[in-house]
Amino acid sequence: MTLLAFLAGLASAILHAGWNAATRQQPEPGNAFASVVIMAGVISVPPLLVWGFPNAQALAWMGVGAAFNVLTMRLIMATYRRTPFAIGYPMIRGTSPLGVAIIGFFLFHEELSALGVLGIASISSGVFLLALSSRIGGHVDPRGLVLAVCAGLSNACFVLADARGVRASGDVLQYGFLVSIVNAILLGLLLSAEKVDVAGLMRKSWRFALAAGAASTFSYFFILYAFTHGPIGPVAALRETSVFFGILLAATVLREPVGLLRWIAAGMAVGGTAMIRLS
């Protein structure tokens, strides 16, 4: 993997962790998250009109990605109804890069070096360890874990479609702006179907959404750049290090307790990141 692709993947993870941590500090984190996604789409409209639209092949992949994105969101919602966030989220994020690597290898012949495979496995294992650290001392619905794995695999298909789409487009900005708009529309429709006042939500939190939405957009552009200049599996695994940057932010900024298992998990992610860089 080139140095620029590696740094772009890490930059994406850091920004992703940052804006997600910021949403957790809001009075209503769920609504804050939704406002960020929608605002990212709103601010993408003017530049898209300047840069233009991706080609037909990229649009086809975007359609596939949008379908898997909606499926992923529904599976995540079902997961969280049965499984605590602290367990469900790491399970989903840990499954995704493994799914990307396996599906990408068999369907798209994405080659992986031995170090790349070890790096992906180390990062995913660290994420799974986070789920284990949250499960200790409590009961977990097995059906929730199955849903989490399904959500991770669906997200892997979304990532692969995204990577193929931006490669077909040849233009990170064109593709990224349009996907941000499509995601905003899909989430807005989903919220409206659940009787959420989307307009009122945006009026209430537009200042926060504007700043976090910009960070979210840059995070997405960085990962798209990495997809066009590096192997999809290792790049996807790098993105999941955002979970561990989130731990660091939780410990230093949010002052949340972080146990020994979580620090071990973070160490596994660091080791995996180093292996991916050397691959």
Nearest CA-CA partner of 8 in 231, 225, 159, 233: 225
SS3 call for 255? coil
Q: What is the pLDDT of residue 30?
A: 77
Q: Per this entry, what is the length of the chain? A: 279
Angle among Cα 98, 18, 103 to the nearest 5 degrees reads 15
DSSP assignment letter at 253: T
Higher pLDDT residue, 39 or 134? 39
CB atoms within 10 A of CB 248: 15
Arithmetic mean of pLDDT, 130-156? 80
Q: What is the pLDDT of residue 17?
A: 80
The answer on pLDDT for 256 being more than 80 is: no
Mean pLDDT taken over the chain: 87
CB contact set of 83 (below 8 Å; sequence gap of 6+): 91, 140, 141, 144, 145, 147, 148
Report yes or no: 92 and 240 within 8 Å, Cβ to Cβ: no
The answer on pLDDT for 137 being more than 60 is: no
Nearest CA-CA partner of 265 in 132, 153, 112: 132
The answer on pLDDT for 91 being more than 80 is: yes
Q: pLDDT confidence of 135, banded at 50, 70, 90?
A: low
Q: What is the pLDDT of residue 268?
A: 85
The answer on pLDDT for 250 being more than 80 is: no
Arithmetic mean of pLDDT, 102-126? 89
pLDDT digits (tens, 9 = 90+) for 163-217: 999 999 999 999 999 999 998 998 899 889 988 899 999 999 999 999 999 999 9
Higher pLDDT residue, 58 or 1? 58
